[in-house]
Structure 1
Amino acid sequence: MYPSYNTSPKTPDATGMGSNAVQLAAKMHLGWNIGNTMESPGGETGWGNPQITESYVRFLKQTGFNAVRLPCAWDWHHLSDRSKAKIDPAWLSRVKEVVQYCVNNDMYVLLNIHWDNGWLDANINNLKKDSVNAKQKALWEQIATTMRDFDEHLMFASANEPPAENAEQMEILNSYHQTFINAVRSTGGRNSYRVLVVQGPGTDFDKTDRLMNTLPTDQISNRMMVEVHNYTPAQFTILDQDASWGKMFYYWGASHHSTIQPDRNPTWGGESEHIRVFGLMKAKFIDKGIPVLMGEYGAYRRGNSQNVPLDLNTHNDAVDYWNRYVTKQAIQHGLKPFFWDTGAALDRRNNRVLDQRTIDAILAGSR
């Protein structure tokens, strides 16, 4: 369907690639998402964020983070020839430049194909399986070839939050992950040894525990990680208006319930739920030598929105507590946390902290 883009495979090169997945995970302390940027359909600034600068990456490092997740679109507005799934060389070059900023500053970087207008996520079915695998192969051959000379600071991730609800869909999703791994490895050089990350179904803890019972095969052992995301409970962390399936929670944590606004206290998803799901990942993967990245997580303040909690002090304390507690428990269970930020916590234009309480909470949880 598409031409092969693995046009210059290199012999395997282990230089600078000495860490296996467990050793590499141990080097990652705290991760940060540069969200709503490289995955925007209008290019890097399409969702209102500035272009990423090396000074911002240095600022991240100074703030206390040593790993970056770089959500990235490729198919969505970045193909120079759609019929051939050919990525615009200028876009490949720009993404490579941003990765270089991270590597220059001894930051580990996770580069993915994000939602990308849903070409993979919306097509986890037998009807589209062959065409999706063809596109996955074409895109990853190009990305991997372009980024091949980076050392182990760079990891690739197959997708973002690919949904799968049952064993049949999981088998199809695994084929997409397998295509990703095969495509990257086929390009050779340092990609023969690069650590690769595959996403659990929906990056959901319970579905990943239930359905992800086999990982793709790899020509090199112990170079794979699994990724899940954590916004539990969503009514507290990310919901910005009441939904048919649930009302917003403004408060969270056993000691951060409101007496002023009890109808906005949480009804599920407390501390014990996080302990439970972290335990699932520890038993299924981490204890078996397969690191788990918590590739996105975070709770966010509502004080600036139209939905202002009546008990604002308790709300803000609860947000701090969630970010601190979840960071701490993730790390204690062996997961590697990457906070999701779209520019609200750190000012990317002036390299300053906008939400000191959130940064303090994350850092406190990491100690």
Structure 2
Amino acid sequence: MKKSYLLKTVLLLCLFVGSMSCSDDDTKTTKDPIAFSITPETMLFSAKNGNAVMNIHLEKDAMWTLTNSADWLTVSGTSGTGMGYVSLVIAENDTEEARTATITVASGSETRMVQIEQSANENSSTITYDIAPDPSNMSTMTSVQLTAEMGTGWNLGNTLEAIGGETAWGNPMASKQLVDAVKAAGFKTIRIPVSWSNFSDDATFTINPAWLARVEEVVNYARDNDMYVIMNEHWDGGWMQPTNAQQAYVNNRLAIMWKQVATHFRDYDYHLIFAGSNEVMVDGDYGTPTSEYYTVQNSFNQTFVTAVRATGGRNAYRYLAVQGFNTNIDHTFAFAAIPVDVTPTRLLMEVHYYDPYNFTLNENSTITQWGSIATDPAQTETWANEAFVDAQFQKMKTKFVDNGVGVILGEFGAIVRTDVPGSETFRIYYLNYVANSARTHGLVPVYWDNGFIGNHTMALFNRNTGEVVYPDILDALMP
């Protein structure tokens, strides 16, 4: 779940223009040179096929021609006038060698070049491990069998994923006392959202060792309690945009980041689960994804799986969670592709559930009742009732669970409305129904706790003391 007050995305459109030089003599001028550039100047692609757009910045009357050095790279045009764009289609690299190409654009006596790089194919038959695979202390259960052991889960929300530092969003630092309390309350699984780039070098994506150590400290709070841990890459400023233009950049950054994380945690046993991303979508676009969007997002999942497996050791057998588009059940059912994996039966699919939004998250809504126990139709949205919950989770069971892929309901919840008398009855009923339906359909329910107490919040525990602040909600979440 993204924090309610996210930083606004700033879109910068850079237009290269000609320059003018002047002397003290106003009658003396120098002619503007041709304003000519290509963006981006470098493109990186995974071995999978892909698409991208190259932008040409040029004076409106200037002619340009394009030459392409590779037969595995198709361009939409080879000539034009002024500013424009060229679409690129990259064929799948079915070889074990990385490959490069150069696109050259000429205008008059000026030339500009774009470098294209594509990774080697690292499918199940050609993967090279950093160290030898190590099956010790790694379960042989399928991912579906694993989910049956994971019980009910809880999210350490708005903490290690807080942009600016662990306490930047108002929560205290995560403590052993808190995680001990989560375990004592009956939770068997803890999901730890993390912003890895929070403490990374912007150029090399190298993660600060101190941040890796801090995340490991929190992981150990849970592992010392014999809990399952789902550790993910969580929003992180929204750099995982699933567009053709960003695909190569994101896949490269994702692979570099997960190689570091996976290597650092490589010796942990099967109770530690890596999750590659969180709610990947194009910022602000909550509609049905285009084929571009979900195809690119599926490539992120594949990059994550390949990068982790390649680190070898116990990571060769670790359970890994990938996500459907924006973790939306309908989009996941329609568009998600299970990545190719060298290790069978170890992948999990993750979705989230916050329907109906007006009841669960909308602070300004008058929809404060839910389900068959509702008494006022004006305060109820009937479209997302009990039958809808069951139907949505049945979709996940039919497509994934029944086909050997375990499913994590990584987030669900509903805000408390202290200003609406009687509303807590419906929140309790909603959370109980969703949690039970998830378990019935083979999904692991993981409650979203944002850590804050008061109106329109979702905390279950006092983060400072570990005290359960809503005992009735806790009872509702448990089987």
Task: Normalising by structure 1, report the TM-score.
Answer: 0.90
Whether 1:319 aligns to 2:439 is no
Match of 1:9 in 2: 130
- Tell me the secondary structure at the aligned position of residue 95 of structure 1: helix
* CA–CA separation in structure 2 for the residues paired with 1:83 and 1:299: 39
- Secondary structure at 2:414 match in 1: coil
Superposed counterparts of 1:231-270, under 5 Å: 231-242=354-365, 248-258=366-376, 262-270=377-385
Partner amino acid, structure 1, of 2:339? P
Q: Shift of the alpha carbon at 1:82? A: 1.4
Match of 2:323 among 199, 203, 210: 199
Aligned to 2:188: 66
For the residue of structure 2 that corresponds to 1:131, the secondary structure is helix
Q: Which residue in the other structure is 1:245 paired with?
A: none
Q: 1:211, CA displacement in angstroms?
A: 1.1
Aligned pairs for 1:218-367 (under 5 A) are: 218-242=341-365, 248-258=366-376, 262-303=377-418, 308-309=419-420, 312-313=421-422, 315-343=423-451, 344-363=459-478, 366=479
Amino acid aligned to 2:299:
S
What displacement does 1:256 show?
Answer: 2.2
Structure (1 or 2) with the larger CA radius of gyration: 2
Q: Which amino acid aligns with 1:299?
A: A
Aligned amino acid, residue 385 of structure 2: G
RMSD: 1.8
Contact map agreement 2:371 2:382 (CA 8 A) in 1: no
Q: Letter of the aligned partner of 1:15 in structure 2?
A: S
Q: 1 CA distance for matches of 2:375 and 2:326?
A: 30
Equivalent residue for 1:157? 275
CA distance in 1, matches of 2:196, 2:370: 37
SS in 1 for 2:266: coil
Instruction: Indicate yes or no: 2:250 matched with 1:129.
Output: no
Q: Deviations over 1:254-281 (max 9, x none)?
A: 11233xxx53222421111101101111
1:103 aligns with 2:218: no
Aligned partners of 1:167, 1:286: CA distance in 2, in Å?
25
Shift of 1:133: 0.5
8 A contact 1:256–1:317 mirrored in 2:
no
Q: Does 1:93 align with 2:217?
A: no
Partners of 2:382 and 2:408 in 1: how far apart? 27
Structure 1: 5+ residue stretches without partners: 3-7, 243-247
Quick check: 264-273 or 111-120, which moved more?
A: 264-273
SS in 2 for 1:296: strand
Query: Is 2:142 aligned against 1:27?
Result: no
1:22 Cα deviation after fit: 2.1
What displacement does 1:342 show? 1.3
1:140 to 247, 252, 258: 258
Q: For residues 381 and 261 of structure 2, what CA distance do their matches in structure 1 show?
A: 43
Q: Deviations 1:42-93 (Å, cap 9, x if unpaired)?
A: 2111111111112221211110101000011011x311x2111111110011
Q: Say which SS state the counterpart of residue 237 (structure 2) adopts.
A: helix
Deviation at 1:136, TM superposition (A): 0.3
Q: Distance in 1 between matches of 2:382 and 2:149?
A: 37
What is the percent sequence identity of the aligned residues? Answer: 40
Aligned to 1:5: none
Aligned length: 341
Rounded to whole Å, the distance in 2 between the matches of 1:257 and 1:147 is 51
Is contact 1:297-1:340 (8 Å) kept? yes
Deviation at 1:202, TM superposition (A): 1.1
SS at match of 1:240: coil
Aligned-partner Cα distance in 2 for 1:257–1:189 = 57
Does structure 1 conserve the Cα–Cα contact (< 8 Å) formed by 2:148 and 2:442? no
User: What is the rounded CA distance, in whole Å, between the counterparts of 2:205 and 2:190 in structure 1?
Assistant: 27
For residues 231 and 290 of structure 2, the distance between their equivalents in structure 1, rounded to whole angstroms, comes to 27
Q: Which has the higher contact order (CA 8 A, sep 6+)?
A: 1
Cα offset, 1:36, TM superposition? 0.4
Q: Note if contact 1:68-1:108 (Cα within 8 Å) is conserved in structure 2.
A: yes
Contact 2:147 2:442 in 1 (8 A): no
One-letter identity of the residue aligned with 1:47: W
User: What CA distance in whole angstroms lies between the structure 2 residues aligned with 1:149 and 1:26?
Assistant: 24
Whole-Å Cα distance in 2 between the matches of residues 157 and 291 of structure 1? 13
Q: In 1, Cα distance between the equivalents of 2:327 and 2:192?
A: 17
Q: Distance in 2 between matches of 1:102 and 1:345?
A: 17
Q: Is the 8 A contact 1:166 1:211 kept in 2?
A: no
